Structure 1
Amino acid sequence: MAGTSSSSNASTGGYSLMGYIKDILTLKGDNYEEWKRELDLAFILGEVDWVLTTPCPIEPAEIFRGEKESDAEWQKRERDNASLIMSYDIEHAKWSSANKNCLAAVKNTIEPTILGSIPEYDTVSKYLESIKSQFTGSSKFYATQLIKQLVTERYHGGGVKDHILRMSNMACKLKQKDLGISDDFLVHLVLSSLPKNFDNLVVNYKISTENWNIEELISNCVQEEERLKETNGGSFNLVKDKEKSHRSPSSKEKQPQHLPQKQQFTVETKSVSPLQEDKTFQERSS
């Protein structure tokens, strides 16, 4: 029984497929090819890739006895049909489970803002075809996602060179769709995507009369990152630095926390008044 249960889970996806989802990239628009490659690998390892090419089993048609059909012939056909129905029930349950698991896996690896724009389909194969049509070829939706990704991209660590190359790759894809941007504009976008650690580099570029190309931008940014690492003992936390910069406005909002001190000061000021009145009274009495 244990062997049968294990085989059933493997053929329909079950827990095995869910274990691979965490390793799949989130589909954001510009990473469709890499996302699809990792998704296909997860389906293969989860042993459910067959559902992408296997259509939903068709239920056997209802049979009727012929007018001239003998009892023996009819009984034989009934037995054969019962066998077909049993086979259909098993295959349909297996297919439905695998299809459901794969659909859930696909939707779980898509960015929510993109997920809402994808039409719903009953089969994972049609659902994936719809996604492919939006993120390949001359799709306007794909171009829009690329532009949004490029403009909102931010560096959160992992190597500034890879970050710049990733943004440059987005720009190249836009150029292929006749939506190319100039190298100067791309340089400004990259510099705008860097955290506050790189402010000195950004300022130096702005006051300089020279314009960098992508190669020069990469070289200067890598040098600056290495300098920052040396200054901070070999490493530094970019995300933490950005969080600090985001806390500065909230520190103003937290000023009311100092109110108890002001109230205490006010109370102390009022407590002096009776002493002054008592002193004045004594002077008048003398």
Structure 2
Amino acid sequence: MSPFNPISTILDQNKLEGSNYVDWRRILDIVLTAEEYKFVLHEECPLKPNEQSSDEDKLAYQKWRKADEMARCYIMASMSNVLQHQHQAMLSAFEFLENLKQMFGDQGQSAKQIAMRTLMNTKMVEGTPVRDHVLKMIGLLNELEVLGAEIDNDSQVEMILQSLPDSFQQFCLNYNMNKMSLSLAQLLNELQAAETLVKKASSMALNVEKGSTSKPQGGQKKKKAHKAKAITP
């Protein structure tokens, strides 16, 4: 890998040997995402263009082929020599990873169960920043995706909403009643806005409560003062 690419050095330092499959797969996912090659793992190769194909179709095909070639290079370069030799005949990055999943899938299955358990047990503590909590949840969801779990966007959003404290109950109610559909990034922004409103409402309620409790005390002082005057000869 090129020494001028700081992202690729992550894989250089974490070559796949076999026992480190889960960590390697997670790091590979980060690298392919950063380099914008990850889409070849989820999208099929467009049909090979012919003379009648549009320029757009030709560009789409070339883009996919180039990205797949680069993804395969990253995968191959981050393997041990033994694994490289075993996978030389693989024709696509997807085929590479599917074969590796079959070889080391037991590790991934165990890690997937742990990640899912952690995700379901993670709850936001009242008063802590919603941003930190949502980013943690997104990280766990990404880890599950890397490990092969298939969770659609609506289910991911629902998992995050279920993990929120009571102060976000109105937000969750509005979300479901209005049948909203947000990406995880959009959900994070909306929750941060809701958090600001919750804090303002809480602050106003606290001020009202302080005001209501201070009035009787003032009234009592006045009554005592008035009573004292009445006793004075």
For Structure 1 versus Structure 2, the TM-score category normalised by the shorter chain is: 0.3 to 0.5
TM-score (norm 1): 0.33
Normalised to the residue count of structure 2, the TM-score between the two structures is 0.40
Larger Rg: 1
